[in-house]
Structure 1
Amino acid sequence: MTVTVPASIGIIPEIVVEETDNPSGFEQLREPWDRLVEEAGGSIFQTWEWAFAAWKHFGRGSRLQILSAYRDGKLVGIAPLAAQAAGGRFVKLASLRFLSVASDTVDFLVARDLDAAVGEAFTRHLSRSKDWDVLHLDLVPTDSRATPAFLEAAARLGHKPFARQGPINLVIVLPGSLDEYFAGVGKKTRQEMRREHRRIMEVGTVDVCPPGDEVGGYLDILLHLHALRFARKGTPSLLADPSLSAFYRDVVRMLHSRGWVRLALLRIGEEPIAAHLSFWHRDRVYWHQCGFDPSSPWARHSPVRALLLDSLTRAIRAGMKEIAFGREGEAYKLDFAPQRRVTYHHLVVAGWPSTRLRLVLQATTQRVGRFARAILAGVKLTPFALWG
């Protein structure tokens, strides 16, 4: 399907939107998608490789719906979406959401200075198709340019946007030197980090998977150490999920071939005691997954923190601007004096009457279900409790 947004809408240039709903079309987008990531300053989570691996391993039961925006034949916007039926047993809602897995943030990918034009074009395309009821835009960063433009256009065209705060990500902003960085860290923490790093590196070595080498063996070690790390907590590793581990095998293999993966092992002798997966893309490092062997006598010297300090040192020397540290919630991350950055979950409800009717029916069936369960449980409910 192709929709053209004419230049007569204010000062918005003409944008043509095309829709891709099959894997072969997805693959054909790879080269222009790559160029757009560079031109738009996109993140590792907005790369073609990340979206393709997400679709391959988590797309079952969904319909591919990638929107591509073109201006004068050049790709200037991507909305990587997937559609699926959602809702209760009796009332189904057609739901659209970003195509992404294991991402810190997700967003539309739009060329600079074209956010309003592409946002308008995407909204008009979806308004003409009328094949969706709700659109979920999750994990949108606070500094997004494209999503606010899209939401503004959606509201103007009669759709209803809602928003709530999502997870908080941590970011280490990197200065020009390691001394400058340590000046911003507490004295006690600084001394402890340096002492532990020096002690463990006197006997250990950092082994990084070289470019061009097969990355699978290194990834196997990471998955094993990640499982050991969580077994210590009495919880299963998320990476033990077959679909998620298969996703990582694919995305790491593809990104490693681009030179964007740093998979490092901390070895004592020949034995790996800690592992760390990060992505080095443009001017940012993404600290992503790590693991260690809690049974090692060196575990008390914080081997993961030693790997992070090694990465931080190399990142500063390489002129990287920041380290994306992932979700807050792990105590060791706070030692590195990160900044907090909020994400948002946006929900857009379609403005057509059929959607409103389905939402009313869904709410009614949910309330009736709650009422029936309460009766079976012997709980007395008033009409206000049922419909309030």
Structure 2
Amino acid sequence: MEPCEWDRAVERLGGPIYMTWDWLRTWWEFYGGGCELRLMIFRKDGEIVGLLPVYMQRIGLPPLALTVARLVGANIPPKVFDPPLGGTWAVQCMHLALSRLEQDGCGLFSLGPVSEEFTLAHRDLESDPERPGRWRAEKRSAGVYTWFLLPETLEAYLSSLGKNEQKNRRKYELRMLRKEYEVVVEVLGRGREALSDAFEEFTRLHTAQWRTEGLPGHFGAWPRGLEYNRALVRAQARHQRVRLLRIRANGQTVCAQYAFAWSDRWFWELPAREVGPEWDRFSLGPTGIVVMIQEAIREGRKRIEGGLGHYPYKLRLGALERPVWIYRFSCRSPQERIRRWSARSVRLLLQWGYHKLWYRRIQPRLPERWKRPQWSLWLRHDF
């Protein structure tokens, strides 16, 4: 199957950029070691009606080792992964997928995180009475995610904001910044210009911002995070899908946004901005979001995906917040139940002892040389 055919099917079936060929390929090159890949393509009368890019990984030690299947890309880092499954054929696709995973010795298939829209469009996945008998399904909450619905014009967007945000329009429209600086807004990635230098500038700005709070920032939080994102930018730049937005004041980048464009959406990855009294008075954080919205509207996009997590500042700027879910399909056999119990016990210990206590509370207070990305053992058990 050609990559272009895969991508056309992803777009037609409403899948996110995370399901496109080059995104999957890049992730696999960095994080697929020790895993088994299954690219499941479902056709009806020759037409693709579903795609499930899945990897299998064994966690734990024999005889309690559990084979877990996940969507390619899941966990590092987590996003809203709505796999491209045609609504009419999703249940049949899942039957075939579970049968194949069972043949391969899989004990648990973790599908997600997926959006509320996905669960509403595929209600039968959880309650399906014809699911292969050795599998049971459950749907669990995985937090929330946000997205911005884009109107036709920036004026319409600004007029929709609350009274408090309306007072900040002079900042959001860059009028205050322009009183003191020569301001230029750039969006790189629409053409075939080189993006490596601009991306390196973005990473420095993002990391410096977070280090003022004693945190490593996104690129330091995930194993090989910086190298992985460099490769993503190179791969997606060939398709003109990268969006690096920069607000420059007197030639200096003071605010930037890192995103990808796909179908009718922008997929917002990360923000970055200068910090300090000189810049904080311009509200560069929310201003950068408003400028990003303006540029996405100019491209004719309909939506900006804002990512996982609850962020009040996004809601103040008009974002919608919706729940996120994970489907877990588990094999009913007694042996697999014991293996799942063992894996979940280890997962609980790692969640509280490592992730919540060490990684989130203790490590940020340590000197820089002690700070490390998240432990791969924890990420394997975060299913």
Indicate the TM-score class for this superposition, using the shorter chain for normalisation: 0.7 to 0.9
Classify the secondary structure of the residue corresponding to 2:117: coil
Match of 1:302 in 2: 283
Matched, 1:220 2:194: no
Normalised TM-score (structure 2)? 0.80
Structure 1 stretch displaced more, 329-338 or 159-168? 329-338
- Contact 2:95/2:131 (8 A) holds in 1: no
- Contact 1:85/1:94 (8 A) holds in 2: yes
Which residue, 223, 226, 235 being the options, matches 2:215?
A: 235
C-alpha offsets along residues 171-212 of structure 1, whole Å, 9 cap, x if unaligned?
Answer: 111222323222321122122143353112452211222510
Classify the secondary structure of the residue corresponding to 1:277: strand
CA distance in 1, matches of 2:295, 2:347: 54
Match of 1:347 in 2: 328
Matched, 1:115 2:90: yes
Matched, 1:200 2:168: no
Normalised TM-score (structure 1)? 0.79
State the one-letter code of the partner of 2:216. P
- Contact 1:274/1:293 (8 A) holds in 2: yes
Matched, 1:264 2:242: no
State the one-letter code of the partner of 1:76. V
C-alpha offsets along residues 267-302 of structure 1, whole Å, 9 cap, x if unaligned?
Answer: 112221222111221111222111112147223312
Runs of at least 5 residues in structure 1 that lack an aligned partner in the other structure: 1-27, 368-388
Which residue, 14, 17, 28 being the options, matches 1:44?
A: 17
Cα distance change of structure 1 residues 139 and 220 upon mapping to structure 2, 3 Å threshold:
same
- Within 5 A, what are the aligned runs for 1:271-350? 271-295=252-276, 297-350=278-331
- Contact 1:205/1:267 (8 A) holds in 2: yes
Match of 1:167 in 2: 143
Classify the secondary structure of the residue corresponding to 1:135: strand
Match of 2:371 in 1: none
State the one-letter code of the partner of 2:252. E
CA shift for structure 1 position 246: 1.6
Match of 2:108 in 1: 134
* Aligned CA-pair RMSD: 2.7
Matched, 1:93 2:66: yes
Runs of at least 5 residues in structure 2 that lack an aligned partner in the other structure: 349-383
Classify the secondary structure of the residue corresponding to 1:109: coil
CA distance in 2, matches of 1:186, 1:294: 26
Match of 1:143 in 2: 117
CA shift for structure 1 position 91: 1.3
C-alpha offsets along residues 292-338 of structure 1, whole Å, 9 cap, x if unaligned?
Answer: 12147223312232222122122233332222112344443232121
Match of 2:235 in 1: 254
Percent identity between matched residues is: 22
CA distance in 1, matches of 2:342, 2:170: 61
Q: Which structure is larger by alpha-carbon Rg, 1 or 2?
A: 1
* Equivalent pairs, count: 339
CA distance in 2, matches of 1:246, 1:71: 39
